[in-house]
Amino acid sequence: MSTEEFVMRLDCFEQKLINNEPLLIGVRTVMALSSNRIFNEGKKSDGSMIGSYDTKRELYVNPDKQPRKTADSRLNIAGLKIAGKHGDTKFKSGKPHKTAYVANYKDLRNRQGLNISYVDLNYTGNLKSNYENSSRGEPEPVRIDANHYQIVLDSDNADKREGLEKKYGVIFNTTAD
């Protein structure tokens, strides 16, 4: 290696340090680990499971506003059928139902073929994608300055985070690990 090449390598290294690239690498790693913990493992910041799904309160949902509404026998997915609690498709007045009855939220997720073994916050994918600040699937923090990065959620997902943490406890903070 010539002296000029060595100086060029040092300049490149210096520029990376000035831009604090090692910190960015660390931040991306922490974001990826946090995203995996929250959305794939269903764990809170203290390492415990986020919680369990409601199995008590019945509800009616509009199948057209759900991420998956149709049945698929190959995948053992029941799907959502527009019907009342007792299977009726019309009210006594003769008007058709517009919603589907489900016994509880866990039943709703199960009928859609979604994970019910732990609280999975990745219902539509919007919160996870916004948490990672990326459409590429690779966590991308927002740079505040060379020494500060932030995970920024849009207002809808900030409200989701607040509600989830109010219900289940601290989820989105980083862990000591």
| Domain end among 76, 101, 117 | 117
pLDDT > 90 in the chain, percent = 28
pLDDT at 139: 63
Kindly give the pairing relationship between strand 148-150 and strand 59-61. Answer: unpaired
| Cβ-defined contacts of 33-41 (< 8 Å, 24+) | 33/177, 34/172, 34/174, 34/175, 35/128, 35/131, 35/132, 35/139, 37/175, 38/121, 38/131, 38/171, 38/172, 39/120, 39/121, 39/122, 39/128, 39/131, 41/118
**Same domain assignment for residues 70 and 87:** yes
pTM: 0.75
pLDDT at 2: 86
| Domain end among 96, 117, 138 | 117
pLDDT at 73: 67
What is the Cα 120 distance to its own chain's centre?
A: 8
**Same domain assignment for residues 35 and 71:** no
pLDDT at 80: 83
Is the predicted pLDDT of residue 137 greater than 60, yes or no? Answer: no
**Same domain assignment for residues 19 and 69:** no
- The pLDDT tens digits for 11-37 are 777 777 676 788 888 888 888 899 999
Task: Tally the domains of the chain.
Answer: 2
Kindly report which listed range (55-64, 69-78, 79-88, 153-162) carries the lowest average pLDDT score. 69-78
Is the predicted pLDDT of residue 50 greater than 90, yes or no? Answer: yes
**Same domain assignment for residues 33 and 73:** no
Domain with 9, as residue range(s), is 1-51+121-177
